[in-house]
Structure 1
């Protein structure tokens, strides 16, 4: 399977007076799971629809190794996508997949193979109308896998999955990317799950790119703070307080300080010189959730009244 690089270049789409996507550019690399994040109304689904040729952009392109989706000779064999799961409720999951196989020239035996892949082997002959939401999600993923594509584009694939299903999906997507070299783009609101699954993250807000990079890159640029614990925390705070330095008490740790503006080396040097005992000294790392909310603050489509200052 040849690796495929997805390039989104300058996508813009306006609906009436609303600019849903605004000059958006980012890349999705092969062999990695890329999380696609943003608040409701940030333009994620519109971007995915433009990438797959379902919506025509005002400007910009999305290419798969330099070729637009409409120009791919066998798109289902090259790009598998799940944006919505649609099926005839009276048709079995197996027959649903077999219809897709016949429509796209794929061998009908492929339906049974992908049902086993997604854990629906024993449920494949049941009517899809009786499937739970999690089973429907698996059926959608099976549909995307029919052509054995190099690229997977998935919109909220974990919705409706139970904890075991989410754990399975995490391992499955990482296997497809890391072990098989596929390019996986996943839109999700489950930040904790994205943090455990994705190698890279693309964050959008108000239709624009906010940040893209590996999780390590996002964390490294998100906080220059240092956590310090000392039985002499008040004296230490006085010793460290200089122009450009911020010091606050650490929640849940009465002897703890969060220091911004000084490195761990400088804090340790000053504490040693001042004869102050330290129990802990380490850089403060931010989780994806903290980074995400900091980067997208003020770009929510809906905000609670208390967040807007109302009572």
Structure 2
């Protein structure tokens, strides 16, 4: 994606957005509601025409792909005829795309719906519908997958399965996987790279290691000790940046080895000494602070008229 820009009337949904999604990895596409994620995915798939900029697959726009279903599989929403079975839903797509109808049973097996393929799609749970949508995206055996909130409605077992399945597609089969999601803890366990957007603009792009390094800077060490005040005094004398909160000490710019050695030399008893690594959720909120479309007040706050919210 290069310089993608799109406005709807007076609303600028996406502004000069550009990033690259690489084969062999799972890329998470994150941002608050209204950040422009779905608009971006629709431009990527040719469903919306950008005002400017380009979105291509190996240099080719989606609309110009000679056989798009074999190149890109996408899940933006789940929509099925409720009276048609899951298997027949997939067979309709096979016929339309010139694929053998046997492919329907192959993808049902891939997503764990082999035993439910004969049931009406209208009787499927939300999680089953998500799996059927993923099966539809896989029909052409595409090298690229574009998935918008694929874990919605999945139970914990289904989420764990999806995590392993996406990583298998990327790492073992070399496919390109772009996943938009709000499940940050799950994204952290699934993706290799992250693209974060806010207010329609790129906020940060990089590997998980890059994001953590940027958030943690020189590193943070957490220390607990019954003699924490004395240790804090010693470290301050050494010019070490720190924050003291009760029996806990947060030290910046030093390793656990350095803090442990200083405490040992001074005869300070330690109860806890560990490095702190920022998680994706912490990094995400740092980077997107104030960029959400809808900001709710904190519990217990009041509006200007004093009415409790």
137, 149, 155: which is aligned to 2:148? 155
Q: Does 1:92 align with 2:88?
A: no
Q: What do the CA deviations read for 1:122-157 (whole angstroms, capped 9, x no partner)?
A: 111111111111111011000000000000000000
223, 229, 243: which is aligned to 1:247? 243
What is the CA-CA distance between 1:256 and the residue it aligns to?
2.4
Partner of 2:228 in structure 1? 233
Partner of 2:10 in structure 1? 17
SS at match of 1:305: coil
What is the CA-CA distance between 1:189 and the residue it aligns to?
0.5
Partner of 1:284 in structure 2? 276
Partner of 2:248 in structure 1? 256
Q: TM-score, normalised by structure 2?
A: 0.91
Q: Does 1:294 align with 2:289?
A: no
Equivalent pairs, count = 300
Q: Does 1:180 align with 2:176?
A: no
Alpha-carbon separation, structure 2, partners of 1:40 and 1:50? 17
Q: Tell me the C-alpha RMSD between the 2 structures.
A: 1.9
Q: TM-score, normalised by structure 1?
A: 0.91
Alpha-carbon separation, structure 2, partners of 1:308 and 1:302? 18
Conserved 8 A contact 1:157-1:188: yes
Alpha-carbon separation, structure 2, partners of 1:116 and 1:281? 48
Alpha-carbon separation, structure 2, partners of 1:58 and 1:99? 34
CA spacing shift, 1:146–1:21, aligned 2, 3 Å: same
Q: Could you list the runs of 5+ residues in structure 2 that have no partner in the other structure?
A: 304-309
Conserved 8 A contact 1:241-1:247: no
Runs of 4 or more consecutive aligned structure 1 residues displaced over 6 Å after TM superposition? none
Q: Could you list the runs of 5+ residues in structure 1 that have no partner in the other structure?
A: 1-7
SS at match of 1:12: strand
Alpha-carbon separation, structure 1, partners of 2:213 and 2:274? 14
Partner of 2:41 in structure 1? 48
Partner of 1:4 in structure 2? none
Conserved 8 A contact 2:108-2:117: yes
Conserved 8 A contact 1:226-1:283: yes
